[in-house]
Amino acid sequence: MRLAHSRFVLLALALATTSCSDPKSPSETNFRKAIDAYYATHPRCTMGLMGNAKVGQAVTLPPGSYDPTYVDLQAAGAVKIEEVPAPKSPNYQNQGPWHVVTILNEGIWKSGWGFCYGNYSISKIVQWSPPAAMDGLTVSQVKYQWKFIPAKWASEAFLKAHYAQLQGEDSATLVLMNDGWQIPDGERLF
């Protein structure tokens, strides 16, 4: 009897240890890891009117399109801002100054993304649905809480201007892949 009890305890311990370290098991650790991995490659950025400009490129912005929060970017060394007079044309009479913004810092500017002002970090996995089959895949709906981690250069005024919430709750559909849980390509969480 004692031998059977010992085998049961060892089997239970082995299963518990295996499921904790198995990247395919539906667990808080694995879901947090998958969502954090997504956010690590999808920072919060604002393109403004800079488009797909490259570092070193200057973009001329007419009145009304210049974002005053670019001053934060200038203080961080990300851009150089010059005020220039409006072009000499009847179409531009009585307009305020134009601004030439030159991108200087590749660390803050990501071509195709914009000026990256922070990222999300998962603070808590609230709940998840049992894994289920959907369109030939195994999926789970995961509800989580996040907090926003602003970039060091991003002032409170910049964050308010670009509508960054500092914390919140969201949900995502995670898909079980060969190497564990992931957020599918093309999914946007923000």
User: Tens digit of pLDDT for each residue in 56-72?
Assistant: 888 888 777 767 667 77
Q: What is the dihedral of CA 150, 53, 37, 77, to 10 degrees?
A: -30
Residue 51 lies in a domain: no
Q: 172's torsion region: left (phi>0), alpha (psi -120 to 50) or beta?
A: beta
- Which of 52, 56, 38 is closest to 101 using CA atoms? 56
Residue 175 lies in a domain: yes
pLDDT at 18: 47
Range of the domain at 101: 58-110
At residue 185 the predicted structure's pLDDT band, cuts being 50, 70 and 90, is: confident
> 173: Cβ–Cβ under 8 A, 6 or more apart, which residues?
139, 140, 141, 142, 183, 184, 187
Q: N- to C-terminal Cα distance for the chain?
A: 57
Residues 129 and 174 in one domain: yes
Residue 48 lies in a domain: no
Most confident listed range (110-119, 124-133, 156-165):
124-133
Is the entire prediction scored with pTM above 0.75? no
pLDDT at 9: 47
Q: HSE (CB half, 13 Å, CA atoms) of 163?
A: 2
Residues 104 and 138 in one domain: no
- Which of 34, 26, 19, 44 is closest to 172 using CA atoms? 34
Residue 28, pLDDT > 70, answer: yes
Cβ–Cβ under 8 Å, residues 145 and 168: yes
Most confident listed range (44-53, 59-68, 72-81, 120-129):
120-129
Stated as kind and residue range, the H or E segment containing 13 is: helix 2-21
pLDDT, one tens digit per residue, over 154-179 is 777 777 776 657 788 999 999 999 99
State the total domains in the chain: 2
Residues 37 and 130 in one domain: yes
